[in-house]
Structure 1
Amino acid sequence: MSSIEFRVAKSIAPSDNSTSVVIPPTGSPQFSLKGLDLARYVDVPFAEHSHRSLLLDLLVPVGPGPKPLVVYVTGGGFVDADKGNAQHLRTCLAESGFAVASIQYRTVGEGAVYTDGIADVQDAVAFLRAKAEDFGFDGARVGLLGESAGGYLVTMAGLEHTPGVQAVVNKFGIVDFGTIAEDYDADMQAALDGADYPLALYLHGKGTGKTVHDLVPDASPLNHITDEAPAFQIWHGTADCIISPSQTLRLHNALREAGVDSTRYVLDGADHGDVSALLGRPDEALPWYTEQVVGLTVDFFRKHLEN
């Protein structure tokens, strides 16, 4: 993700947290790894496209019995999709008893649009389910976890009823392209309102002259929600300077209105995950890696994938 030039808001309007669980900065310790034995598979091809093969990395706990699968989809502004991201978090999930895959997906630099990214997530899930016995996990029990751009992709893949998916974690992911900067200052809103901005390119493709405000109803998760959606856990920080907190609030409220099991956690004072570290403020990323926060996600996947 280091190659991305992030647009950062100068101010953020407060949003309604009445339907969410607010987590204050409690000083919970950072989670630590245990050094458990994990089988590691690197650069496994799962899909072929004209430009390249798409690859995934996989961690599988060593021990008896098939493990549930969690597929991690990284962020990167739809410009970058480095499957090596979040290695510490992925290892923690694997040490908690899950097989964990991290996947590549096509980006705007390859001319990809949102339907391509969703298809890449679905292809990865289909490949992993077909190979589950070979790798030693349970392909019938699948969870998705995505951050930022990856949060959008796992949300869409979950709402499009990707076979096997029973639980989705969206961490500060886009929901409505046209209102992504709604909570921000005028300069930030103007910066995102261009036909060459990656979000517009990912929505419409190159050369269309369209912006994020030229709506594509099919691209909005809000238009794919039914009462048959998998369970959701949703996360956002109140100080997110990249994707406005009202994005995930819209998703959470719409899921609840449809009768879907959805819980939204708001980290008071937290920014956009690892972006703080990339911007030279590593201490501001720490709230995302506490035992409390990571533990809630582990508990969520255990509840919905281990039954």
Structure 2
Amino acid sequence: MRTRRALIGIGAAMLVAAAFLAPAGGARAAERFERLDIPYMDTGNKQHRLDVIAPALEGAPKPILVFVHGGGFRNGSKEGQRPLSRHFADDGIAVVNVEYRLVPEVQHPHQVKDVAAAIAWAKANAASFNGDPDLLFVSGHSAGAHLIALATIDTRHIVEAGLAADAIKGMLPISGFFEFENWGYGEQVRDPVFGGTEGMIDGSPAHHIHAGMPPMLLLHGSDEAGIAGQNKLFERTLTEFGFSDFRRIEFAGKDHAGMRRGLVDADDPVYAAVMAFLSEVRAR
């Protein structure tokens, strides 16, 4: 799947998404299942916690979306993603909203290892929130997009966390970055985030691509400067490698914050694209 090839048209896809994902009448706030601040590692570190925000525990098991916040690797928290999580839960998605350790407390690869551990927790504990462990998707915004892409593509991390290399059904990096050495911002994160050039290259998802990757949806705005370039470059890298099960969508007029806001608006094309991808991959 490429940029010019739609999964389905966005409008039509939303009808498919409604049929496949949304519970009858929608899961409203009083019917949601919520458990906050659950430890996913036995470390006592408050950043090794996650939230589960899901539809009511009834009916068929729901697709799981593990979501990882952004913040330049140094900032951000899962608390800021709770409105987003509730929005998706109301449309039939069981969301696992992840906290992870930040720079300067840790450097690569500890952040991606945290994310991999949270993904493993989600699959292992799916029955507790009526999630379908075979429909395990991962997404994130900005730094979170990078971390879920790295955890998915460089399968060492999820395997070390106890998952099979093919456990993830699909990934949706939003405003992500994939090849740090080919991005101006890379110099700013090379030492504090990755501990040097070797770590930065190891932490770039583009250096770990392989034939067994799951379907991908790359989302970014036209007004995100270097991030738009990163997504176009990654598209080229995937194409040259011979991997075709992906799509890149650029949203005209969207900047970095606008992409994040689009996830909490049911009428926004960013939200529509995410729902379309989840329903299309589930239907395979």
Name the TM-score class by shorter chain.
0.7 to 0.9
Which whole-Å deviations, capped at 9, do the CAs of 1:181-239 have from their partners, x for residues lacking one?
3xxxxxxx7xx74xxx45531111xxxxx5xx677432221111111101100111121
Provide the residue aligned with 1:265 in structure 2. 249
Query: How many residue pairs align between the two structures?
Result: 253
Aligned with 2:104 (options 101, 106, 109): 109
The one of 163, 167, 184 aligned to 2:170: 167
Structure-to-structure mapping, 1:1-307, within 5 angstroms: 20-21=3-4, 36=28, 37-49=31-43, 51-52=45-46, 54-62=48-56, 63-110=58-105, 112-161=106-155, 162=158, 163=164, 164-181=167-184, 193=187, 197-198=188-189, 200-204=191-195, 210=196, 216-241=200-225, 243-257=226-240, 258-273=242-257, 289=265, 290-305=267-282, 307=284
Give the conservation status (yes or no) of the 8 Å contact 2:34–2:51.
Answer: yes
Shift of 1:85: 2.4
Amino acid at match of 2:133: G
Contact 1:178–1:214 (CA under 8 A) maintained in structure 2: no
- Relative to structure 1, is the Cα distance of residues 114 and 215 closer, same or farther in structure 2, using a 3 angstrom cutoff? closer
Give the equivalent residue in structure 2 for 1:5: none
Change (3 A) 1:253 1:126: same
More helix by share: 2
Q: Given that residues 27 and 91 in structure 2 are in contact (C-alpha distance below 8 angstroms), is that contact kept between their aligned partners in structure 1?
A: no
Query: Matches of 1:247 and 1:253 in 2, distance apart?
Result: 10
Q: What stretches of structure 1 of length at least 5 have no aligned partner?
A: 1-18, 182-188, 205-209, 277-284
Distance (whole Å) between structure 2 residues aligned to residue 173 and residue 252 of structure 1: 12
State the alpha-carbon separation in 2 of the partners of residues 287 and 38 from structure 1.
Answer: 19
Give the % identical residues.
23
The aligned amino acid for 1:268 is A
Q: From the superposition, tell whether residues 34 and 97 of structure 1 become closer, same or farther in structure 2 (CA, over 3 Å).
A: closer
**Partner AA of 2:256 in structure 1:** H
Task: Tell me the alpha carbon deviations over residues 139-194 of structure 1, each in whole angstroms, 9 at most, x when there is no partner.
Answer: 1220001110001001111112444201000111121222323xxxxxxx7xx74x
Letter in 1 for 2:275: V
Q: Distance in 2 between matches of 1:130 and 1:287?
A: 26
Distance 1:287 1:143 in 2: 15
Once the two structures are TM-superposed, the CA of residue 260 in structure 1 deviates from its matched residue by 3.5
2:229 and 2:246 mapped to 1: Cα distance?
15
Asked if structure 2 preserves the Cα contact closer than 8 Å seen for 1:81 and 1:105, the reply is no
Q: Is the 8 A contact 2:49 2:98 kept in 1?
A: yes
Unaligned segments of structure 2, at least 5 residues: 15-24, 159-163
TM norm structure 1: 0.73
TM-score by length of 2: 0.78
Which secondary structure does the structure 1 equivalent of 2:173 belong to? strand
